[in-house]
Structure 1
Amino acid sequence: MGSVGLLYVGAVLFINGLMLLGRISGKAAAPMNYFVGVMQVVFPTLMILQSNGDTAVVLGASGLYLFGFTYLYVALNQTFNLDGEGLGWFSLFVAVVAIVMGYLNFTTVNDPVFGAIWLIWAVLWFMFFLLLGLRKDSLTRMTGWFTVIVAHLTGTIPALFLLTGEYRSDAFWTWVMAIGGLLALVVSGLLGRQHDTATTDPHRPEPTPRRPGRAAV
């Protein structure tokens, strides 16, 4: 994935995580999803047109569409207040393909750090499937926190390393990324549970409900 595109993946995931946490509305998040969604469809199309049949380039471009379609799907759902079930099941497709992409980065592309990143994305998109496709609303807060953390772990930070020429893909950084993803999942679960415990406290005043976009990713 191009470093510029990866940087904005971090940006849009951060926005969508805040949307799931109820910090911003779905309408407010929609423009960024349109911006990045269009970018992640136009860029890979140009890459494929200029690839001259290079399978490595086509493989790299194919992964970008997964993100572009996701963000455009989110934007349309928020704009027109559509149900998120279709996006949830599309997220299952993305999660499965992300596992394959991770495997290929470990074996064929020889970029193990991105292999770990793709596997983290597989977990994230599987959580979107559980939340939207299977309507596991209890996972909303956990998914929101995981999205916010993963936005920077797998998007912003690697993109900045790539842009500055400091990116390294070796065993050490692969383990750093993998452990970071695991810690992000654990911390997100704890933060989501902490909120659930606080809101069920009988002595706590009932908060004014805020609905995150139900089709949020």
Structure 2
Amino acid sequence: MDLFGETSDWESKLKPILKKYKGERHPLQYQNTYQLLVMVVLSAQDSDANINKIAPALFEKYPTLKSLSQANSETFIPYISKVRNYPTKAQWLLEIAQTIKNDKEIPLTMKELIALKGIGRKSANVILRETNKPAEGIIADLHVIRVAPRIGIIKESKDGNKVEKDLMQILSKNIWSEIGMAISFLGRETCRPKPKCEECLLTDVCYYYATEVL
């Protein structure tokens, strides 16, 4: 079995999940790019389900970047107080809103996105993928960090940026946009911390399955 990038054929090996999850929307239930931006910032170290729960009231009160730019911490925080690390995230989002001010001015390149407070490469990759912009990297969320080494594509690392960099060196650029989310969905549904290998589409290429299950 080829391991840790020793093959250039990972694209074909991963086709079953690329096919299954192609174009599937991110679990954050956003309605537009403004909502996506805000929800991505809020979701760091928190669950998508929690962010989806608080989103309706938040966006009813602050439907645009312009309305958010006119808020202050005192008025804004009650709407996100159930979010992990909400005081810091409130500062980030208010600063983003005051910097950009207009929904149509939201930047959609990696360089411009990561220049904003609270947005790292993972968040930027999600925003670029969900807005159908050309991929400049690979989404490496906590599911990808767990699952990609387990499959055997890369060596294990807890550092999301390293995981992304390693995946970018191994995987063809034409699948960058979809593969991160496909691995993430696999991790959410099947390759859980306690994996459901009997339901997995990748058992014939998976290092974990070959060494731990068989």
Does TM, scored on the shorter chain, surpass 0.5?
A: no
Higher helix share: 1
TM-score by length of 1: 0.29
- Structure with bigger gyration radius: 2
TM-score by length of 2: 0.29
Which structure would you say has the larger RCO, counting Cα contacts within 8 Å and 6 or more residues apart?
Answer: 1
